[in-house]
Amino acid sequence: MEKLAEERIAELARSNAELAQFGYVASHDLQEPLRAVASCVQLLQKRYSGQLDARADEFIAHSVAGIKRMETLINDLLTYSRLGTHSLPLVKTQCGEVLDIALANLAAAIAESGAVVTRDALPAVEVDATQMAQVFQNLVGNAIKFRGARTPAIHVGATKNKEGGWTLSVSDNGIGMEPQYFERIFEVFQRLHTRTEYQGTGIGLAICKKIVERHGGRMHVESRIGEGSTFRFTLPGRAL
């Protein structure tokens, strides 16, 4: 029985590795023909904008916008597929410093929205600092994006959990969501809103979840419509 379980675990690991490799190769190989199409369409837009009828200009503009969306999708898929193969070792790192990196990357969005970001004293744990910064950046960025009419108030929390590790959280006062979407939002390319309402590909939270799981943790969300959301994730280990 134990041997069968080990074989299934090994088979699953091989399958996941093959799937990640397929995603990487497919995304990488898609970039070249997309660049060729993008160059041609952008050249048409540059040379003939205003020289054709309004309908033709509209078609070209839609083509350019579609290509840009495809480029973003491919880049996000590449990021997702490379999480397990292009990772740094887990080393003791101050999570406060990692959060500072994420907030620096979001400086323009924070300034534009007037967002106020507060924090608890964050622990030092074993993480891949680059990937953990991406988790914080995606979660805080989403809190700013899905803010509704209110000025974003975002809090990054940290509490010791029963397993001896840490539970980190990012809470906001945004638009919130209904319980039936709590699992769906962590799936690849899942969106709760149209692109005209909110920009994005719908892969950010899937990336966060995969990074947290790579660190041996779990991730979930608590939310109420109109009251905001709290994303919690666990990290094993002890503070320094």
pLDDT in tens, 28-86: 677 777 778 888 888 888 887 778 788 888 888 888 878 777 777 777 667 766 676 55
pLDDT value, residue 86: 55
Q: With residue 93 as reference, give the H or E element that holds it.
A: strand 91-94
The radius of gyration of the chain's CA atoms, rounded to the nearest angstrom, is 21
Is 144 in a helix, a strand, or coil? Answer: helix
pLDDT in tens, 127-180: 988 889 999 999 999 999 988 888 999 999 999 988 889 999 999 999 988 888
The label of the residue with tokens 């491919």 reads: 74
Better pLDDT: 7 or 94: 94
Tokens of 167: 């539970």
pLDDT value, residue 199: 56
Distances, alpha carbon 141 to alpha carbons 92, 144, 145, 191, 199, in Å? 25, 5, 6, 15, 12
pLDDT value, residue 119: 97
Going along the chain from its start, the domains and CATH numbers come out as 2-81 (1.10.287), 91-235 (3.30.565.10)
The Cα 51–Cα 240 span in angstroms is: 66
pTM: 0.69
pLDDT at 198 over 60: no
pLDDT value, residue 235: 92
pLDDT at 230 over 70: yes
What integer best gives the mean pLDDT of the chain? Answer: 81
Better pLDDT: 9 or 28: 28
pLDDT value, residue 240: 39
Instruction: Work out the pLDDT band at 26, boundaries 50, 70, 90.
Output: low
